[in-house]
Structure 1
Amino acid sequence: MIGLVTSLRRELRRAARDLVLNTVIASAAVVPRARWRLLRVVGLDVHRSYVQARCFFGARNVSIGAGTFINYDCFFDGSAPITIGRKVRIGMQCLFVTGSHEIGTPDQRAGRETAEPIVIEDGAWIGARVTVLPGVTVGRGAVVAAGAVVTRSVAPMQTVAGVPARPIRAS
C-alpha cells in the first residue's frame, strides 16, 4: 500500500509539473521574450533567451544559455541533463532525446532504461526537425542540417547532414 501511495504522489507531481511547464508556460498566450523567465521560476537553468510556444520539457534538468533562440514545437526529453550553450539557434520541431533502452530479450526487445546527457555548445545551429540522440555533443559553431539524426558527437565548426548525420564539411 505504501508503494502505491508513493507511486501515486510521484505521478501527481509529474502531472502538476507538466500542467504548469508544458501547458501554461508553453502556451501561445505567453510572450516568447518572457517565457525564459517563467522557465526559471519553475526551476530550469535558463538565461535570457527566446523560446517559442509549444516546446515540451520532460524534466527540469535543461539548461539554456543567453541569447539562444528555440523555435516552435521542440521536445526536450530530460531523462538526463540537456545543456544548450549561448547564442545557439534551434529550428522548429527538434527532438533532444536523452533516454533509451538496452536491447532486451526476444519477448521484450526494449530492455533496461538508459539515459545520457546532450550538450549543444555555444553558437551551434540546429536545423528544423533535427533529432539529437543520447550522449551527443554538438560542438561550438557546428551546423546540423535540417532533418538530420545525430547519433554521434559533432566536432566544433563542422557541418553534418543526413540520417544518420555525417560530416559534409568543416566550416
Structure 2
Amino acid sequence: MSRLSSLWPGLVRNVYLNRILASSLVPMPARWRLLRAYGASVEKSRISPGVWFGSRRIAIGRGSYINTRCMFSTHGQISVGENVYFGMGVLVTTASHEVGPSQQRAGALTVAPVRIGDGCWIGANVTVLPGVTIGPGTIVAAGAVVTADCEANSLYAGVPARKKRDLS
C-alpha cells in the first residue's frame, strides 16, 4: 500500500469536515445535516463557519449552538446535550498524553470521552480536557480550563475551573 493511499481517508475526512463543511459558503442550516450525512449523531442545531471536527465521534443535541473557531478533537466520543451554547474558540479534546521520560515528555496517548449536559453555556475560549463531564445547566466562564467534572446548575471559572456558586 502506498503512503498516499494510506493517508487518503484522513485527507478526504479533513477536506469534507474542515474545509467544505466549515466554509462560510455552506449555509448554517445545512451544516448539521451535512455532519449527520457524514455519520455523526447530530440533531437540528446551529453550527457556525470555521468549526473544526476531528471525526464523526460526536453527538450534538437539538437546539445547540456552536460558535466560530470551536475545535472538537475526537479521538474519543464527545456528547453534547440539547440547547448547549458554545462561545467562540472553545476547545473540547478527548486525548492527552501520559508523562514520559525526560527524552520525550509526551508519552503514550490516553483517550477519555467528554460529556456536556443539556442547557450548558460554555464561554469563549474555554478548554475542556479529556474525561470531563459537565452537568446539565452549568455555565463555564470564558477562558476557563475544565480539568475535572462540573456539578449540574453551577457556575465554574478559572484555571483550573473551580465552582464559584450554585445557579437556581
TM-score range normalised by the length of the shorter chain: over 0.9
Taking structure 1 as the reference length, the TM-score comes to 0.95
**1:6–1:88 Cα change, 3 Å:** farther
Which of 23, 30, 38 pairs up with 1:42?
A: 38
Q: Does residue 90 of the first structure (1) align with residue 65 of the second (2)?
A: no
TM-score when normalising by structure 2: 0.97
Alignment correspondent of 1:108: 104
Does 1:140 pair with 2:117? no
The percentage of counterpart residues that share the same residue type is 46
Q: 1:1-171 residue pairs with structure 2 within 5 A?
A: 5=1, 8-171=4-167
Could you tell me which runs of 5 or more consecutive residues in structure 2 were left unpaired when the two chains were aligned. none
In 2: Cα distance, 1:151 partner to 1:11 partner: 33
> Take 1:130 and 1:27, find their aligned partners in 2: how far apart are those partners?
23
Instruction: Work out the CA distance in 2 between the residues paired with 1:142 and 1:18.
Output: 32
The secondary structure found in structure 2 opposite 1:159 is strand
| 1:37 alignment partner, SS class | helix
| Structure 1: stretches of 5+ with no match in the other structure | none
Displacement after TM superposition at 1:22 (Å):
0.6
CA drift at 1:141 = 0.2
Please identify runs of 4+ aligned residues in structure 1 that moved more than 4 A.
none
Q: Alignment RMSD, CA only?
A: 1.0
CA apart distance, 1:159: 0.5
Q: Secondary structure at the match of 1:63?
A: strand
